[in-house]
Amino acid sequence: MSEALIIGTPNSGKSLLFNRLTGMNQKVANFPGITVDISYGPMLANPALELVDFPGVYSLHSISEEERIAVRAFKKSLADEHLDYVICILDASRLEKGLHFAMQVLRECQLHGKPMLIAANMIDVLTKHDMHLDTRGLERSLGVPVLPISAKTGQGLRELEQAMDKNQVSQHQHVPVNFKAISDVELRRMAHNLAEDCGPKGDLLIRSQARLDAFFLHTWTGGAAFFLIMYLLFQSIFTWSAPAMDAVGASLAWMAALVLPLITPGVIRDFVKDALFGGIGAFLVFVPQIFVLTMVVGILEDSGYLARAAVICHQPLRIFGLTGKSFIPMLSGVACAIPGIYAARTVDSPYKRWLTYFAIPLMPCSARLPVYTLIIAAFIPAREALGGLVGLQGLAMFMVYFFGMMCGLLVTSLVSRVGPHSQQDMPFVLEMPPYRLPSWKPLLRNSWNRARHFVTKAGAIIFLVTVIIWILGYFPNGGTDLGASWLGRMGKIIEPIFRPLGLDWKYGVALLSSFLAREVFVGTLGTLYGIEGADNDMVPLVDQIQSSGLPVASGVALLIMFAIALQCVSTLAILRKESNSLKLPVQMFIAYAVFSYCAAWIGYQVVQLF
C-alpha cells in the first residue's frame, strides 16, 4: 500500500482538507509518546492511497519534547519506502509563515529523496479580498507543484486530487536550490522575499475580528461574555448529557431485567447483575459527558473563542503556575475529572498540561456531591445563619467546594515552584485565530472518537477493578453479609488507620469500595448499616449516622478526605492513558492519599478543640 503524508502548521486547515479527501472513512490512532491523535484513511478518489494526517507542528525546530517526538516521527516516515510523497498545506493568507514551514519540510524531503506538493489553502479568503496568489511564481522558485485550494469551499480540490499521483508528483520536482546547504537564517529570508514577490499584498485580516476582539477582551463586556459562555459550558455538561446518562442507565436496567430472569439465582446471577451490569454501567455513564464536553470544547476551539478565553484567564492562573489554557479543563473537572483530563489536550505546553493534571482531580466533581450531601446532612444543623441570609448546610457545601478548588490551586503553585522544572514548557505565544463558524461534521466525529477512546482504553481496567471489588465484597459468604466478606475484613484490618479520625471499619469499607466511583460510598455505608437503597433516599442513613454518635470532627475529616483523595479508578485509568505514563497516576494517587489523610487529621484535631 502506498502512502501520502499531509503536514502543516496548526490552523492551516489540515484537518478539514484531510476530511475532504478521505470522507468519513478514517481511523484514529494514538500518536506514540504524545497526547495527540493521528488520523489515517484511504483517499476517496483513489482508495489505493492511504492518507496520513500528521499532527500539526509550528516548525521542524522543536521546543518541547513532545514536538521533538512528532518531528522525529516525521523524519522517520520520510525514510519509509511506502511513503510516496508529502503534501504540505499552508495558509495562503499568512504566506510567509507557511512558506517558511514548507521550505523546512522541503529541505527534509530533499534530504530523503521524497517528492513534495504544496496545497495553498484558504484561497477563498484571498478571492474575497480581490487578491491573488502567484502559484506559478512559487512553483518556479520552489520547484514543486503548488495548488491553490480552499478546503472550505472545495475550490481547487478536483485539481489537487488529479495532481495527487505518484508519477506526476515525481515528474514535477525541479527544486532549483540545494536546501540542505541553506542556513536557517537564509531560509527565513527566502521565505520573506518569496512571500513579498508572490503573495497577496495588503490587509487580509477581517475587520470584524478586531471588533469582536474589542468586545470579547474588554474588561466589562468581555468579562460578562466570559462568565456567560463558561456558565453555558458548565450547564451543557449537566443538561445535555444528563438525559443521555439517564438513557444509558435505563437501557442497562432494561437489559438486566431481560437477561437476569434467564439465569438461575446464585453466584452467576449475582455476578451478572452487580459486577457485569454494574461494572459496565460504571464507565458507560461517563460517555455522554465526554461526548458533550468534547463537542463544546471543539465548538469553542473552532469558533476562535478558546484562544480569547485563554488570554482572559492567563494572568490569574499564572499566579498558581498554570496558563490561561488550563481554565477550561479545570472547569470541566468541576463536573467530572475525566472530560477535564481530555480537555487538557488543548494545553499546548506539556509542562503546563502536566500541572493542570494535578489540579483537575481536586476540582469538586459531581460524584462527590452525594457524599457531601450525606455528611453535611448528618452533621450540620439545617439552620440559617447571618440573619437568615444563608442556610448553614448550603454554606458548608459551598465551603467544601471552595476548599477543593483552593487545594488544587495550592498544589499547582507548590509543584510549579518547588517541583522539577522540565524543559517541556512553551512560551505564551498564542495565535488568535479568526472568529469562524464551526464545521459540525468533524466536531461530531471528533467527539465520537473521544468517547470511543475512553471506552476502549479505560473500559477494561475500570471493569477489572469493578470485578475485583465485587469478588471481595461477595465472598466467602455469597453476598449475604458485606461486613463478613473479604472486603469487610479488609476494612477491619485497616481500621487502625481511620481510628485517629474517629472512624470505624464501616467507613473504611465504604472508602475502599468508593474507589469505583465516589458516590458508591453512600450506598455501601447504607448496606453496612442494614439500610437498603441509601443511595436513593439518604434520610434513614442520616438518622443512623446521627444516632451512632459519630463526632462532628469525624464528619469534617471525611469531607476533607473526599475533597482531596484521588479515589476514582476511572480518573486514574484515563490519566494513565493521556499522560502516557503509569508513574503519574501512581504518584498522584499516593501523594493525594497522604495529603488527604494529613489534612483530614488536622481538620479532626482542630474541630476537637472546640
Partner 1 sequence: MIKTLWELMQGEKCLVQGFSQALDESYRVRLMELGFHPGEQVTCVQVPRLGAPKLYRVNNTIYSLDDSVATLVDIRVSE
- Closest distance to ligand GDP from the beta carbon of 489 (Å): 55
| Sign of CA pseudo-dihedral 202, 204, 206, 211 | negative
Beta strand pairing call for 146-148 and 116-121? parallel
Site for ligand GDP in 56-75 (CB under 6 A): 56
DSSP 271: I
Beta strand pairing call for 83-91 and 116-121? parallel
- DSSP bridge partners of 119: 89, 147
Residue 441 engages ligand GDP in binding (rule: CB under 6 A): no
SS3 track for 511-530:
HHHCCCCCCHHHHHHHHHCC
Q: What is the DSSP string of 373-409?
A: HHHHHHHS-S-EETTTTEEHHHHHHHHHHHHHHHHHH
Residue 207 engages partner 1 in binding (rule: CB under 8 A): no
Q: Which is nearer to ligand GDP, 121 or 393 (CB)?
A: 121
Among 18, 40, 54, 58, the residue binding partner 1 under the rule CB under 8 A is 58
Question: In terms of Cα–Cα distance, which of 276, 293, 311, 193 is closest to 462?
Answer: 276
Of 35-43, 269-277, 304-312, 461-469, the segment contacting partner 1 by CB under 8 A is: 304-312
Site for partner 1 in 370-399 (CB under 8 A): none
431 binds, among partner 1, ligand GDP, none (CB under 5 to 8 A by kind): partner 1
Do 581 and 575 contact (CB within 8 A), yes or no?
A: no
Residue 563 engages partner 1 in binding (rule: CB under 8 A): no
Residue 125 engages ligand GDP in binding (rule: CB under 6 A): yes
Question: In terms of Cα–Cα distance, which of 282, 180, 186, 198 is closest to 518?
Answer: 282
- DSSP bridge partners of 385: 390
| Sign of CA pseudo-dihedral 145, 149, 154, 156 | negative
Residue 436 engages ligand GDP in binding (rule: CB under 6 A): yes
Question: Cα angle vertex 354, ends 353, 357, to 5°?
Answer: 85
Residue 312 engages partner 1 in binding (rule: CB under 8 A): yes
* Spatial distance between the Cα atoms of 397 and 481, rounded to a whole number of angstroms: 33
Among 258, 429, 437, 609, the residue binding partner 1 under the rule CB under 8 A is 429
Of 9-17, 78-86, 166-174, 495-503, the segment contacting ligand GDP by CB under 6 A is: 9-17
- Where is 228: in which H helix or E strand? helix 219-239
Site for ligand GDP in 372-401 (CB under 6 A): none
- Closest distance to partner 1 from the beta carbon of 313 (Å): 9
Residue 152 engages ligand GDP in binding (rule: CB under 6 A): yes
Of 93-101, 363-371, 400-408, 575-583, the segment contacting partner 1 by CB under 8 A is: 93-101
Q: Count of residues binding partner 1 (CB under 8 A)?
A: 38
Collapsing DSSP to helix, strand or coil, 558 comes out as helix
Beta strand pairing call for 2-8 and 83-91? parallel
Residue 96 engages partner 1 in binding (rule: CB under 8 A): yes
Binding-site ranges for ligand GDP (CB under 6 A): 8, 10-16, 56, 121-122, 124-125, 150-152, 302, 436, 439
Binding-site ranges for partner 1 (CB under 8 A): 58-59, 61-63, 93-94, 96-97, 100-101, 184, 188, 203-205, 209-210, 213-214, 217-219, 222, 307, 310-312, 314-315, 318, 324, 427-432
